[in-house]
Structure formats: structure tokens, C-alpha cells
Copies of this chain bind each other. A is one copy, B any other.
Amino acid sequence: MPEINFLLLIDVLGTASFAISGARMALQKQLDVFGVIIISFVTSIGGGTIRDVLMGNFPVNWMRNELIIAVILVACIGTMLVRGLHQKLSTTLFLFDSLGLGLFTIAGMSIALSAGYSPGMSIAMGTISACFGGVIRDVLLNQVPLIFHKEIYASACIAGGLLYYGLTQMNVSQHLAEIVSIITIVLIRVVAVRFNLSLPAIHPSSTPTEK
């Protein structure tokens, strides 16, 4: 029972954070109401949907989960209604978004581990769950996905996933492993954004640009 509630809380908080961040980006692009709702939805459930499709879990997760749909709608419509509030809540929302990142990574990874996938593949499934909703959002908004050229994002998921696997191998209780790994992902992201860290971009050739 507490187990169920903890997983549920993960889902609800992570989903709401991603729905809000999706809605905010759609608002910046001046989409109409329907467009904002779709982008909000896709940001929230896109990563888990890709994971479920790749693994062959049908119907995909959100279709079996009316609570998640309600959470997204409330978060999205709330975001449209209280637009002025965003600027003030900017830091809070960034924290929620980072929390969503950590939560979705570990939740997605657990699903793959339970289904018998290798640790490496499970980390990939966790990272896809956490990051690819944002990829679909960016594709629909007609921009190169942010995570391909800006910020530490997927790297935080991979690091957290490795830690989670390491901890579970060392007989740490599953709950503790989950919490520590999620906090690690959040911390990596927060530190990276605070100190403006990013992965190196690789320049197409090492030849001098001027001769």
C-alpha cells in the first residue's frame, strides 16, 4: 500500500512537471488552445509511450491510466490560466522538471529491469522514458531537440541509472536506491544548469577555419 502510493506520487509529480514545461513552451510559440494541450500531453507521456512501443507493452501506459490524463489536463489548463505566475515560479518549475527527469528515468528503468532486460538496455529505456517526450515536443514545435545540443540532460539520466543499478546490486533496499538515484539525477541537472555546464559540441572538422 505505501509502495503503491509512492509509485503513484512519482507518476503524478513527474507527469505534472513535464505537462507544465510542455505547455509553457507551446505558449511561447503562440499555439492555440488545442495545440498547447497536445504539446503538454506529448511532453508528459511521449517518452513512456516510445518505451512501451519499443518493448511491445500495449495499450501504452497512459491509455490504461485515467488519473495521469486528468493530471496532465489540470496541469496544462492551470498553466494556461495563470500565465503571469510562471516568471515568479520559474525556479520551482525548474526543480519540478528536474524531479520529473529523475522520477521518469528510474520508473522507466525499473519497468525494463522487471521485464528481464539487461542493465544497459534498461538504462536506455529509462533515459528514453525521461527524455524523449521533450524530443517529440521539439519535433512538433519544429526545432532541433534541445537535449541534442544544450544542457546536461540525458547524461544525468544515464549517470543516475548506473548508480541505481550499482546500488541494487549492493543489496541496498529498493526504495533507498530509488530515492538516492533520483536525487542524484536532480542534483546533476541543477548543478549543470547553475554552473552552465554542457556536453562538448563536436566541430565538424579540426582544420583551421582560416588559412
Q: A130: CB under 8 A from chain B? A: no
Cβ A142 vs Cβ B140 within 8 A: no
Copies of this chain in the oligomer? 3
Asked whether B35 lies within 8 Å of A83 as measured between CB atoms, the reply is no
Which chain A residues in 1-36 approach chain B with CB under 8 Å? 26-36
Query: Do residues B139 and A30 form an inter-chain contact, with CB atoms below 8 A?
Result: no
Answer whether A32 and B204 are a contact pair too, CB < 8 Å, given A49-B54, A53-B53, A135-B140.
Answer: no
User: Do A202 and B83 touch (CB < 8 A)?
Assistant: yes
What does the 1/0 interface line of A67-105 toward B look like (CB < 8 Å)? Answer: 001000000000010011011000000000000000000
Give residues of chain A (33-63) contacting chain B, Cβ–Cβ below 8 Å.
33-36, 38-39, 49, 53-56, 58-60, 63
Is A191 an interface residue, CB under 8 A from the partner? Answer: no
Tell whether A198 is near chain B: CB-to-CB under 8 Å.
yes
**Minimum distance in angstroms from A79 CB to a CB of chain B:** 10
Size of chain A's interface in residues, with CB distance under 8 A? 58
Q: Judge whether A206 is part of the interface by a CB distance below 8 angstroms.
A: yes
Interface string of A145-172 (1 = CB under 8 A from B): 1011110011100000000000000000
Known: A60-B54, A139-B139. A118 touches B66 (CB 8 A): yes
Is A144's beta carbon under 8 Å from chain B? yes
